[in-house]
A and B are shown apart, each in its own frame.
Chain A
């Protein structure tokens, strides 16, 4: 009895109290993670029950020979780079604009700009699909009204990916704005006053005060968006389904098609892990950059 009580009072107390959480965490996250990793080196058959057979690097070799894999990486990187860059620039611009106390109705605009972020990505995907519809979409209707020919936004291999990027930018610029605006609010007003006394121009205020002091917030915002954009699937699934052809197929959509549509679990896991490795590398680089700037 005494020994049981000592488990909850002595030096083991902390571990005892933590153990349920650790067990749940192991069961729900760590085990599936390593099981999926194991699947990437295996072959699964359902004949006569579930049979898992070790096959070495066969699934990985198949991945590196697969043209869809390289296409998916390329599309994912284009979306991440273009969308996140544009979201950052627009978010920064909006944050600086709305931090100006002379603008009337700032509070209203702040709430208005946040609205897209509150929508479900599926809804945004359907909006994009309707907006960019060739025959009946309002975007082409406007183009026709001003004398331009309609554009095959979603059905041309060259333009489809940029239509998706536009919807992503529309939805997620508000998040950038929110983080950067909060960052701007933390800069002491004395810095600006002192600079103005010294005769600094608006550009110099931005170049030497705002931008450097916003770098930690910027890197945090970029890191969050990069990680999220690597995993984007819903908007693309609804707007183009990865097409035309495979011109908008990203890593997540590629993994979804193989893993769930074709029920090729091992190859689906291999694709998922390859995305995990890419995201891990990018995250480490961004975190190192953040740390470096914070130290400075």
Chain B
């Protein structure tokens, strides 16, 4: 065998070896990717269009896909189409969405009909999610229905109270206010004080910017979110600490309480404060009030966490560092629906309201990929990712975990001047002994839709508070009868954590 031939054979052997190694390698690759838990699976997530609420899905899906081998398909629909699309997919068993991210108020409609997967077992085994770090009110009340957990909170929502520090802390104004009203000017503890402060700061240039400023700005527009503002005002008038159920229905009879003297008084107060509002306040929606407050036109406002974010981080804001935060004012008299009398609270009764309750993520009970869907929800909601979401602009997510309140670095990075105060007001609201959760029974949207035009008519001066709320009570009775009184009573008691009769 000549040298040349030997060399040729040697090269042939090398080539064969390379081919074998290449073959083995290509066999190894699928084996390696097969080790990824959900290789080849595609899950669909359905929520409203980005940026708000859908943005965190866009932010974290690539990492999860890399980790698990699965794919995430995001489907969105405008707000008004969310509920119809979700409910029609569930009722038809269409399995269109594996995960839905939806408002907490709809949980009863979905969980009550077993459209969702109960998550208790998943959560019990899940170390990554740090379930106990989620604040108890979201963990135990907002995500639960009839004793089971059906969703993971992505966002915590509640109304807090905003005021202009440069107005209320001004020594000259404090003196003038005390001379006029006989008590110290400070963030209001009662709705009466709130009205008087609104009156004091209405219609003059108290911040020296050459323009008139006004007392208050609150969302009053129909077909927006006015009913949540109303319940935030009414809660303290009708919620006696330790006595559940005063805000919506009598939990023993399912009779509407919406036209109780407490509710009527709250609406009368709201109508009265309108005169100290920014011109046109009667038809302003949440978006408008945020703009109006952050460009410096009003001394006080009620909103979710959004005004706080915009005041310090929006380039259009003229009040950076001047925004104060506290829990909602209260009352000194509370309507006791059981005794049918006013109860006196000389030191004040506060009852912050978890308006809206936040956005939850849940899984369609008929999904073919329940495990993968849960894994993605857990990834999205785990502490570190959740923290990034609540401290990133335009995610629409607000704090709902203990660690969101403990770590301030992210909030300073976000642009907050006084994050401790902002988070303090939210925490004080959520952790309050007399905090009132939102209505969470089947047909919630119908009850609110019946209330909305009547509030609008009362605010526009077409009806008195009593006339408007009597009409709502009549309509609520009809809706309850229509859906089924017994079933609704059970659902309402379940939502309040009461024993189901």
Contact = CB atoms under 8 A, between A and B. Distances in A.
Interface of A: 43, 45-50, 62, 68, 133-135, 150, 152, 154-155, 157, 160, 237, 240-247, 249, 256-258, 260-264
A62 to B, nearest CB: 8
Given A49-B91, A245-B460, A135 B297 contact: yes
Interface string B452-473: 1100110111100000000000
B64 interface: no
B276 to A, nearest CB: 15
Which of B87, B280, B449, B450 counts the most chain A CB atoms within 10 A?
A: B280
Interface in B199-254: 221-224
Nearest to B483: A45
A262 B87 CA distance: 13
B418 to A, nearest CB: 28
B280 A157 contact: no
A155 B280 contact: yes
B279 A261 contact: no
The 10 closest A-B pairs by CB, nearest first: A245-B460, A262-B449, A155-B280, A244-B460, A134-B280, A245-B457, A134-B279, A243-B222, A262-B446, A155-B283
B482 interface: yes
B80 A261 contact: yes
A245 B223 contact: no
Given A154-B283, A263-B445, 15 more contacts: A46-B113, A62-B478, A134-B280, A152-B280, A154-B280, A155-B283, A242-B453, A243-B282, A245-B457, A246-B456, A247-B460, A247-B462, A257-B449, A260-B84, A261-B445
A173 to B, nearest CB: 26
Interface string B31-68: 00000000000000000000000000000000000000
A246 B222 contact: yes
Contacts of B484: 47
B81 interface: yes
15 contacts: A48-B113, A49-B91, A134-B280, A155-B280, A155-B281, A241-B224, A241-B285, A243-B223, A245-B459, A245-B461, A246-B222, A256-B80, A257-B452, A258-B449, A260-B84
A155 B222 contact: no
A264 B446 contact: yes
A108 to B, nearest CB: 38
Contacts of A134: 279-280
Contacts of A258: 449
Interface in B243-298: 278-283, 285, 297
B173 interface: no
B92 interface: yes
B414 interface: no
B238 to A, nearest CB: 24
B456 to A, nearest CB: 5
A260 B223 CA distance: 11
A241 B222 contact: yes
Contacts of A49: 91
A265 to B, nearest CB: 9
B462 A157 contact: yes
B449 A133 contact: no
Interface residues of B, number: 41
B280 A243 contact: no
A208 B342 CA distance: 76
Contacts of A50: 91-92
A133 B453 contact: no
A120 to B, nearest CB: 15
Contact of B449 (A160, A249, A264): A264
B379 interface: no
A243 B456 contact: yes
A43 B482 contact: yes
B482 A245 contact: no
Contacts of B457: 245-246
Contact of A240 (B281, B283, B442, B450): B283
A160 to B, nearest CB: 8
Contacts of A263: 83-84, 87, 445-446
Most interface-central of B90, B109, B285, B456 (chain A CB within 10 A): B456
Contacts of B460: 157, 243-247
A28 B111 CA distance: 33
B445 A262 contact: yes
B454 to A, nearest CB: 9
Contacts of A246: 222, 453, 456-457, 460, 462
Contacts of A237: 223
Interface in B471-490: 478, 482-484, 487
A253 to B, nearest CB: 8
Interface string B281-319: 111010000000000010000000000000000000000
A257 B461 contact: no
Nearest to A242: B222
A246 B452 CA distance: 10
B283 A244 contact: yes
A48 B442 CA distance: 13
Given A245-B462, A262-B445, A47 B84 contact: no
A61 to B, nearest CB: 12
Nearest to B453: A246
Contacts of A257: 223, 449, 452-453
A37 to B, nearest CB: 20
Contact of B221 (A133, A243, A249): A243
B283 A241 contact: yes
B280 A133 contact: yes
Given A48-B113, A262-B450, A263-B87, A155 B282 contact: yes
Nearest to B482: A43
Given A152-B280, A257-B223, A245 B113 contact: no
Contacts of A155: 279-283
Contacts of B450: 262
B105 to A, nearest CB: 12
A241 B223 contact: yes
A244 B223 contact: no
Of B283, B453, B478, B483, chain A has the most CB atoms within 10 Å of the CB of B283
B490 to A, nearest CB: 12
A240 B221 CA distance: 8
Nearest to A67: B471
Contacts of A133: 280
A47 to B, nearest CB: 6
